[in-house]
Amino acid sequence: MLELKRLTSVDELNKLQEEARPLLGLRHYNRAANQEKYQILICGGTGCTSSGSMNIRDALQAAIDNNDLHDRVNIVVTGCHGFCELGPLVIFYPGGIFYVRVQPEDAEELIKTTVLEGKTVERLHYQGRTGKTPRHSYRDMLFYNLQKRLVLRNCGRIDPENIFEYIANGGYQGIAKALGMGREATLEEVYNSGLRGRGGAGFPTGLKWKFMAAETAEPKYMLCNADEGDPGAFMDRSVLEGDPNAVIEGMLIGAWATGATEGYVYVRAEYPLAIKRLGIALAEAEALGLIGDNILGSDFSFHLKIKQGAGAFVCGEETALMRSIEGKRGMPRVRPPFPAKRGLWEKPTVLNNVETFANVARIITDGAEAFRQDGTEKSPGTKIFAVTGKVRNTGLVEIPMGVSMRHIIFDICAGIKNENKFKAVQIGGPSGACLPASMLDNPVDYDSLTAAGAMMGSGGLVVVDEDTCMVDLARFFLTFTQAESCGKCTPCREGSKRMLEILERICGGEGRDGDIEELERLAHTMRTSSLCALGQTAPNPVLSTLRFFRSEYEAHIHDKKCPAGVCTKLLQYRIDPEKCKGCTLCARNCPVGAITGKVREPHLINPNKCIKCGTCMDKCKHGAISRV
Amino acid sequence: MSFNRTANAIDLAPLMDILKPYKQNPRGALIPVLQQAQDVYGYLPQEVLETIASELRVPVAEVFGVVTFYAQFHLNPRGKNIVRVCQGTACHVRGGAGILEAVSHHLDVKPGETTKDLNFTLETVACLGACGLAPVMMVNENTHGRLTPDDIPGILDSYLA
Ligand SMILES: Cc1cc2nc3c(=O)[nH]c(=O)nc-3n(C[C@H](O)[C@H](O)[C@H](O)COP(=O)(O)O)c2cc1C
Ligand code: SF4
Ligand code: SF4
Ligand code: SF4
Ligand code: FES
Ligand code: FES
């Protein structure tokens, strides 16, 4: 019987690991012909939960009960598998039998066919990119086989609400080993690994930790940034929901190496499930004595709490985040002094990102050299990307740094939806850039991206196709940064407002000569004189689209045309009287009653009433409506 | 000094319970207390803010400063159901604006407003972290994904029952 009882030595942790191992005993790929026992893993990540995976759990449980199978089959709810597009996902072990888009009605058949008959339900497999080659097992899927899932190794594989599963898989061995190595050797190992912060700027983690280790003031704080503000990114959320203990263990090792005794995880309030799972993990770790005083019988103590954000993007910036934890308005302040010297409550403080911490335990257990096996000399290790937008397989992708953007988008994520043409990939969110097709073969690592005028950012990749207007996309990002600017310094507060006004005018068909130059001038001022990185990087989406897609700006300004057909003020919907059959479908669906006409006679759109929603064009079965 | 009191007196007892564990050590307590108070009252009435200020020994002006800085806090009563339509990047490039328009049209309110019958408050949010299902909206704690404008009336009406 596994008990949540205080562990007082590394030996006790090792013993617990042995006792917990059977929990994972069925999670392998060798399914026997007449397999007796099964474990069903249901994805309980945010994506699959919102597609209804908890109803499927109930339906599967009912099917297990109906068929009297409780001693042969049990259900485990996991975190995100990174393939949310095809959720809800259900996986049977042994075998890793992979089912997608499962509905509660499928439960009975799944249990009967998979467990009782020893076959698989063909129609519920992922049918491959061609739609014709069913993938039976996790192991047959290109989406996973082309990745290197090291940080995500537990996500989707273990129950995140059961610390024993984490321990069974080698969890907390990193801190156990670090305690034996001593503080300095631990610090040196992380330093030698070359790990760089995954939160955006790519600052060397070991170096940051060394700065704090050299400080003498007490207490010292170790903070985790789980604010994940980049709109279109969900790496940190998935790690927290799928493997929260890995983040806690990384923080423990950081605290041990730097002498921190207290810590906070600052999580976005929009992530209720991540907060819940982290809370459970923390309570279990405390019960085992892995958080608290005299951890594993040593003289090392570390106390950890969760703080919920309150909805301000700027609080992802490190000094603002610290003000927010203090209960104040989250405004950035000038650095130096750097937080390693004076941070939270003016004490030495280190802040790292969720994914940064999730890399740390492996660096200690396997060593810095093993960590450096992946990635490039200057960007070692793997990076997780949230690939979204117009790709076929949206999801979470972990790859060694240095592979090309093309590999991520076309090989792993299967290219663009509906055979459309790739136009650009937006990387780095509101601080990042849009890269065109000509840069698809550039390597993805910190320095190459910076050289290309972009930045790694946190790992959001939004892929857009020819139906996306790049001026509108730039306007979209400026709307975001302008709203999130904290208003403390003028270049950012006023500059973002001015830039947004100009972009709105251009999208509204009122662009003028000189607008592009004015945008460039404002961008320069914001870059060089804003106080924090929010303002300094806010012009990036505009500058990169101006650099690579300048002709689109010019078409808006000079020809009053939106080449992608997005900016509604520059569009008109028209009915071709030759093609119109007078079926009245468009008129019945127009939300504002802008279409008139008699049955079997050509219809007409009143341009003064039309709000350009495009519904009529989607509805017309005769291709009579066009957008000009 | 006089303030406009709300018509119905507000029961401050639950607030006192929230404040209790923080009174000894009010350091960093302000935001968690405001969050819990809003969970109980649905918004942050004047009396609640004043009480928090005096119990945590911070100036009322500072409490207001914090409340107005963070998007999460609300000074006015809100609808029974909170609809948050994602306007993050992934949703934007997959038609999030059309979803917002459909919701706004169906409820006849703009983002930030509450319907007259107090059934719905419409808000926008920048990414719910379910980008794989874009476009997405959240009603109360439920996430709805892979939306089309046609889905909106049915989903919203299902919350009226
Ligand atoms: C406006 C702004 C928002 C930020 N948001 C985040 C965030 O959501 N998550 C994050 O990890 N880092 C964010 N950062 C970067 C942090 O300031 C900080 O560099 C990072 O958390 C350090 O951790 P790392 O070294 O492990 O990357 C943001 C920075 C700025 C300027
Ligand atoms: S750059 Fe913008 S967000 Fe940063 S301190 Fe200045 S106004 Fe605030
Ligand atoms: S685009 Fe929309 S508003 Fe305009 S005519 Fe068609 S359906 Fe009506
Ligand atoms: S739906 Fe097409 S064919 Fe029918 S009335 Fe409208 S324009 Fe004409
Ligand atoms: S939430 Fe299920 S795969 Fe992402
Ligand atoms: S952008 Fe809408 S959920 Fe992420």
Closest CB to B72 among A85, A311, A345: A311
Kindly state the tokens that stand for A201.
Answer: 């700027």
> B17-63: per-residue pLDDT in tens?
999 999 888 889 999 999 999 999 989 999 999 999 999 999 999 99
Q: Which chain B residues touch A87 with a CB distance below 8 Å?
A: 132-133
Specify the pLDDT at position B143.
Answer: 87
- Ligand 6 pocket, B155 CB below 6 A? no
Tell me which ligand sits closest to the C-alpha of residue A356. 1
CB-CB under 8 Å, A272 with B101: no
pLDDT confidence of A622, banded at 50, 70, 90? very high
Q: Looking at B69, B90, B108, which one is the last position of a domain?
A: B69
Distance of CA B80 to the CA centre of its chain: 11
Cβ-in-10-Å burial (0-12, 13-18, 19+) of A239 comes to buried
Picking from B29, B45, B69, the residue at the C-terminal end of a domain is: B69
CA angle A511, A424, A389 (to 5 degrees): 105
- CB-based contact B31 A234, cutoff 8 Å: no
**Rounded to the nearest whole angstrom, what is the distance from the C-alpha of residue A64 to the centroid of ligand 5?**
23
The distance of Cα B79 from the centroid of its chain, to the nearest Å, equals: 9
User: What is the ipTM for the molecules in this complex?
Assistant: 0.88
CATH of segment(s) A572-627 = 3.30.70.20
Residues of chain B positioned with their CB less than 8 A from the CB of A468: 93
**The architecture CATH gives domain A171-372:** 3-Layer(aba) Sandwich (3.40)
Q: Which residues pair with A552 in a beta bridge?
A: none
In this complex, which of A47, A230, A270 lies closest to B132 when CB atoms are compared?
A47
- A310·B32 Cβ contact <8 A: no
**B3 occurs within a structural domain:** no
For all residues of chain A together, what is the average pLDDT?
A: 94
Q: Are residues B128 and B152 located together in one domain of the fold?
A: yes
Q: What is the pLDDT of residues A90-129, one digit of tens each?
A: 999 999 999 999 999 999 999 999 999 999 999 999 998 8
Contact of A282 with A264, CB cutoff 8 Å: no
Q: What is the largest CA-CA distance in chain A?
A: 87
User: Chain A partners of B146 at a C-beta cutoff of 8 Å?
Assistant: 51
Q: Report the residue of A43, A347, A462 to disrupt the B interface, i.e. the one with the largest count of B CBs within 10 Å.
A: A462
> Which ligand minimizes its atom distance to the CA of B131?
6
Q: How far is the C-alpha of A477 from the C-alpha of A432, rounded, in Å?
A: 10
Domain match, B40 and B100 both: no
Which residue carries 């409340």 as its tokens? Answer: B67
Contacts of B87 in chain A (CB under 8 A): 231
Q: Structurally, how many domains does chain B consist of?
A: 2
CA distance A475 to chain B (A): 11
| Sequence-distant (≥ 6) Cβ neighbours of residue A197 within 8 angstroms | A203, A204, A205, A208, A352, A353, A356
Nearest to B93 among A272, A324, A464 (CB): A464
| Residues A533 and A431: beta-carbon distance below 8 Å | yes
pLDDT at A462 over 60: yes
pLDDT in tens, A165-178: 999 999 999 999 99
Q: What CATH code is carried by the domain that includes residue B137?
A: 3.40.30.10
CB pairs under 8 A between A and B: 137
Task: Give pLDDT tens digits for A333-358.
Answer: 998 999 999 999 999 999 999 999 99
User: What does the pLDDT average to over B143-150?
Assistant: 91
Q: Is B153 inside any structural domain?
A: yes
Tokens 């050509």, residue?
A602
Which residue in the set A312, A394, A429 is minimally distant from B89, CB to CB?
A429
In the prediction, which pLDDT does B8 show?
63
Q: Do B71 and A468 touch (CB under 8 A)?
A: no
Q: Which of B28, B94, B98 sits opposite A325 (nearest CB)?
A: B28
Going by CA atoms, what residue is nearest to atom 22 of ligand 1? A352
Question: Rg of chain A's alpha carbons, rounded to an integer?
Answer: 27
CB A498 within 8 A of CB A535: no
Min Cα separation A416/chain B (Å)? 13
Cα distance between residue A244 and residue A281, in whole Å: 6
**Do residue B59 and residue B123 come from a single domain?**
no
| Nearest chain B residue to A466, by CA | B93
Find the A295 Cα to ligand 5 centroid distance in Å.
34
Burial B65-84 (b: 16+ CB within 10 A, else e): ebbebbbbbbeeeebebbbb
Rounded to an integer, what distance in angstroms lies between the CA atom of residue A40 and that of residue A170?
A: 22
Does B129 sit within 8 Å of A310, measured CB to CB?
A: no
Q: Is the CB of A625 under 6 A from ligand 4?
A: yes
Q: Report if pTM > 0.80.
A: yes
Q: What is the pLDDT of residues A13-32, one digit of tens each?
A: 999 999 999 999 999 999 99
CB atoms near residue A171 (< 10 Å): 26
Whether residue B19 sits in one domain with residue B57: yes
Q: Say whether B28 and A329 touch across the interface (CB within 8 A).
A: no
- Residue with token string 């704690």: B141
Band (pLDDT 50/70/90 cuts) for residue B3 is: very low
Nearest to A385 by CA among A152, A210, A623: A152
Q: How far is the CA of B161 from the centre of ligand 6 (A)?
A: 28
**Whether the predicted pLDDT of A265 surpasses 70:** yes
Peptide bond between residue A88 and the one before it cis (omega within 30 degrees of 0): yes
Report the C-alpha gap between A145 and A505 in whole angstroms.
Answer: 47
Which pLDDT score is estimated for A164? Answer: 98
Per-position DSSP letters for A466-509, written without gaps between them = TTS-HHHHHHHHHHHHHHH--SSSHHHHHHHHHHHHHHHHHHTT
Where are the domains positioned within chain A? Answer: 23-141, 171-372, 382-465, 470-559, 572-627
pLDDT of residue B23: 87
Residue B145 within any structural domain of the chain: yes
Same domain, B93 and B55: no
CA distance B33 to B51: 11
Of the partner residues A313, A324, A462, the one whose CB lies closest to the CB of residue B89: A462
Proximal ligand: closest to the CA of A100: 5
Residue A275 three-state SS:
helix
- The Cα A198–Cα A221 span in angstroms is 19
Domain assignment of residue B7, yes or no: no
Longest dimension (CA), chain B: 54
Tens-digit pLDDT profile for residues A201-254: 899 999 999 999 999 999 999 999 999 988 888 999 999 999 999 999 999 999
What are the φ/ψ torsions at residue A486 (nearest 5 degrees)? -80, -15
Residues of B in contact with A232 (CB under 8 A): 88-90, 127, 131
CA of A232 to the centre of ligand 1 (A): 15
> Which atom of ligand 1 has the smallest separation from the CA of A199?
27
**Angle of helix A490-507 relative to helix A515-529, nearest 10 degrees?**
160
Beta bridge pairs of residue A436: A424
Residues B65 and B87 in one domain: no
Q: Are residues B52 and B106 in the same domain?
A: no
Q: Is it the case that residue B4 has pLDDT exceeding 80?
A: no
Instruction: Say whether B92 sits in a helix, a strand or coil.
Output: helix
* Pairing, β A349-353 against β A221-226: parallel
Instruction: Provide the CB-side half-sphere exposure for A342 (13 A, CA).
Output: 6
For residue B132, being part of any structural domain is answered with yes
Inform me whether the pLDDT recorded for B9 exceeds 80: no
pLDDT of residue B161: 75
Q: Which atom of ligand 6 is closest in space to residue A233's alpha carbon?
A: 4
**A23-141 under CATH 3.40.30.10, yes or no:** yes
State the closest ligand 3 atom to the C-alpha of A615, by its place in the atom list counted from 1. 7
User: With contact defined as beta carbons under 8 Å apart, do A220 and A260 qualify?
Assistant: yes
Name the strand (E) or helix (H) holding A400: strand A395-400
Distance CA A367, CA A376 (A): 17
Contact (CB, 8 A) for A496 and A531? no
C-beta neighbour count of B32 within 10 angstroms = 18
Architecture of the domain spanning A382-465: Roll (3.10)
User: Helices B30-41 and B13-23 sit at what angle, rounded to 10 degrees?
Assistant: 160
Q: Does position A584 have pLDDT exceeding 80, yes or no? A: yes
The strand pair at A90-93 and A38-43 is best described as antiparallel
Q: What is the CATH number of domain A470-559?
A: 1.20.1440.230
Q: Is the CB of A582 under 6 A from ligand 4?
A: yes
Together in a domain, B65 and B95: no
Contact list in A for residue B29 (CB cut-off 8 A) is 327
Residue span of the structural domain in which B43 resides: 13-69
Question: Which pLDDT score, from 0 to 100, does residue A595 have?
Answer: 95
Say which DSSP state A263 is in.
E
| Pocket-forming residues, ligand 5, beta carbon under 6 Å | A 43, 45-48, 80-84, 87, 89
Which of A234, A277, A434 has the most B C-beta neighbours within 10 Å, making it the best mutation to test the interface with B?
Answer: A234
Do B26 and B63 fall within a single domain? yes
Q: What share of chain B is helix, strand, coil (3-state, %, to 5)?
A: 45, 10, 45
pLDDT at position B1, please? 36
Cβ neighbours of residue A23 closer than 8 Å, sequence gap 6 or more? A162, A164, A165, A168
